[in-house]
Amino acid sequence: MLRRPALDAANAPAADGRDTRAPAESADASGNLLPTASIVGQAMGEARRALGLVLVGAAVLLAMLVGERWLSSTAEQAAARRHAEALRVAGAMRLVDLERTTAAQMAVITGQPRWVERFDRQRLEFERLQAEARSLAPAHAIERFDSETRSATAELEDMRESAFEAVTVGAADIARKIFEGDRYREQSGLLQQAIADFSEATVTAARNEISTLRRRNALFGAGLLVCGGLLGAFLWRRLAGSRTRFLHAEQRVKHLAASDLLTGLPNRAALHDEMAAAMARAERAGTHLAVLMIDLDRFKPINDRHGHLVGDRVLKEVARRLSHILRGGETCARYGGDEFVVLVGDDVQPSAAHHLAERVVRAMSEPMQIGPLSVSIGATVGIARFPDDGRDADELLRKADSALYRAKAESRGGLSFYNVGLDELVAERAALEQAMREGLTRGEFVAYFQPIVELNSQRVQSVELLARWQHPQRGLLPPAQFIALAEDAGLIGTLMLAVLRSALAELPGLPAHWRVSVNVAPQQIQDETLVPQLLALLAEHGVPPARLDVELTETALVRDTSAARRVMRDLKLAGFTVTLDDFGTGHSSLAYLAELDFDKIKIDRSFVHTLRERPQSAKVVDAIIGLSRSLGVPAVAEGIETEADATRLLRMGCALGQGYLFGRPVPAGELPGLGEGPRATAA
């Protein structure tokens, strides 16, 4: 990533606008820097929550009490109504039975039909009252009531019918004997007893129900009282214990405010406090301090590829290693994301700071075993000194950051001291990065092509795609002025796709048998979306993958062998050809090369340029050509500028060549081989 030109105490993002912090840093920013006043807020919140719980509980208890009282009152009123109805129905049954008996007797005495009719009406009324009685009687009494009243009523009805028939034939004496007989009196008594039993059972059930309801009300009220007491005890205990909890919270806030949650190292706020105190002591004593700003190399690809869990474990291991190499008087803090700061006191001299920075770089360059993974990162260090480079914490950190930026621009894994010219360099670099971002959106990056020819016939066999930046103020810029910046800023993938899109638009004007070689940066090898992105772009322009030759540098393949195997496998399966670029500059073994399925080997231009002056270069080139022949793939020599070099390479067995001798990088319309010989543009 591109280093930002300045730092302040806030947790600012990088100059490219990306938030490069690891996940744990956001927790550090939001959780560690709690103001002391928040403790009061927590205390009030705790008290409010406790009081709110009690109020809610009291409201619930009150609602339950009101609800229970309403339900009990309703049930008690219903039981009282059943009690009154039972008494009414029992009395009505006795009265109707008496009226029915009187009507039967009068019918017998007078022989008048109207008394028979009256008897029939009273019988129907008695049957209606029987049905009403059954609906009021408790379940255990209904069957008994039905049995007793049905039997007695049936017997009485039979005797009355017999008496009516006797009267009809003139035997009034027989009719009177029926009504005065023991059997009639017995059945009539049974019916009255059944009515009395019904009345007693119904009244008793209603009274029992009312009594049960009142006992339940008493128990429920006692339960509510107990719950109310428990709520009061809960409130008292919560409020009484809150002071202890708040004291613990205060201690934790103070600890978190000074610690990084992930690594346990002091965080940015604690670092500023420690720097302020150390600078005050150094100023009184007239001594020097040094600040080492450490940025991890290749951390972001590891974090992106393997996830934040692996990234967090890497950061913990970094913290452990840094803590291990520090001595008394040296403080290490996590500054944010993948940045760490070491504060060195004890009147440190430049040589001592330089030696410590070298120890840091060596410690970070050792492989890390993270579970089953072996990952390699690195570290670049920028150094600033107090009071020479700054007299407060923010200024000193900004100067160390500028020195770090210069160290990364020169060589990752290095170190640099601050000097007064760095601020201007950093600002200029940041402006160029911003212009690059805007240029990518405006289409300022264009495709240039350099021919790759067959050395024996000098016919164009393919072209290499090269980027140029049509800067609105600076004019046409070569890759050397912006590729490294794009890699640092994380824009190299976007840049490659933008230039490739421009090249594919030019492809219809080129001979159909020409392949286009496109360079893939080392960072892109670890991007699992590389091949799908290439395929989508080719499909968009209707170009088959076989038309594209993907160039991967030897150094990139050696850096992450598992990713290299994966991306080469995916490229080959998709139909691309693959070229091993800049061969001879890395440290790959023959055994490793044999595992990689590439189609061409490119000899690095550094060997071609010194082919005549250095015998060692000729031996290396001869060995690479022999290797390509044994592997059955052609060799391509880069940087050919003279006829003599081309002739010698052809005699050595090199099949293909590229360089200013055959053509400089030009727009598609100016390529040699479109109408003139390849030498036409070789000026």
Q: How confident is the model at residue 678 (pLDDT cuts 50, 70, 90)?
A: very low
* Reported pTM: 0.52
Q: What is the pLDDT of residues 499-516, one digit of tens each?
A: 999 999 999 999 999 999
- Terminal Cα-to-Cα distance of the chain (whole angstroms): 37
The H or E element that residue 276 is part of is: helix 268-285
How large a percentage of the chain has pLDDT more than 90?
Answer: 31
HSE value, Cβ hemisphere, 13 Å, CA-based, for 560: 23
Mean local confidence (pLDDT), 222-243: 73
In angstroms, the CA 471 to CA 477 distance is 7
Residue by residue, DSSP assigns 628-651 as: HHHHT--EEE----SHHHHHHHHH
The pLDDT of residue 134: 67
The pLDDT of residue 78: 72
Residue 587, pLDDT above cutoff 80: no
Distances (CA, A) of 41 to 155, 202, 249: 88, 64, 12
Peptide bond into 387 cis (omega under 30): yes
Alpha helices in 307-447 (DSSP H): 308-325, 350-365, 393-410, 422-442
Q: What is the pLDDT of residues 282-297, one digit of tens each?
A: 888 889 999 999 999 8
Q: Which two tokens stand for residue 657?
A: 């060549």
Look up tokens 């809960």; give the residue: 234
Phi and psi at residue 327, to the nearest 5°: -120, 180
Q: How confident is the model at residue 2 (pLDDT cuts 50, 70, 90)?
A: very low
Residue 107, pLDDT above cutoff 90: no
Contacts of 657 (CB under 8 A, 6+ apart): 452, 453, 455, 636, 637, 640, 646, 649
Q: What is the pLDDT of residues 179-223, one digit of tens each?
A: 666 777 776 777 777 677 666 777 777 777 777 777 777 787 777
The pLDDT of residue 305: 76
In angstroms, the CA 558 to CA 563 distance is 10
In angstroms, the CA 667 to CA 498 distance is 15
Regarding predicted confidence, which is higher, 19 or 535?
535
Closest CA to 407 of 391, 390, 426, 389: 426
Strands 577-583 and 548-553: parallel
Residue by residue, DSSP assigns 83-94 as: HHHHHHHHHHHH
In angstroms, the CA 562 to CA 625 distance is 26
The pLDDT of residue 31: 41
Phi and psi at residue 446, to the nearest 5°: -120, 165
In angstroms, the CA 11 to CA 21 distance is 9
User: Which of 127-136, 311-320, 629-638 has the least mean pLDDT?
Assistant: 127-136
Question: Is residue 511 packed enough to be buried (19+ CB in 10 Å), middle (13-18) or exposed (0-12)?
Answer: exposed
**Contact by Cβ (8 Å): 401, 408:** no
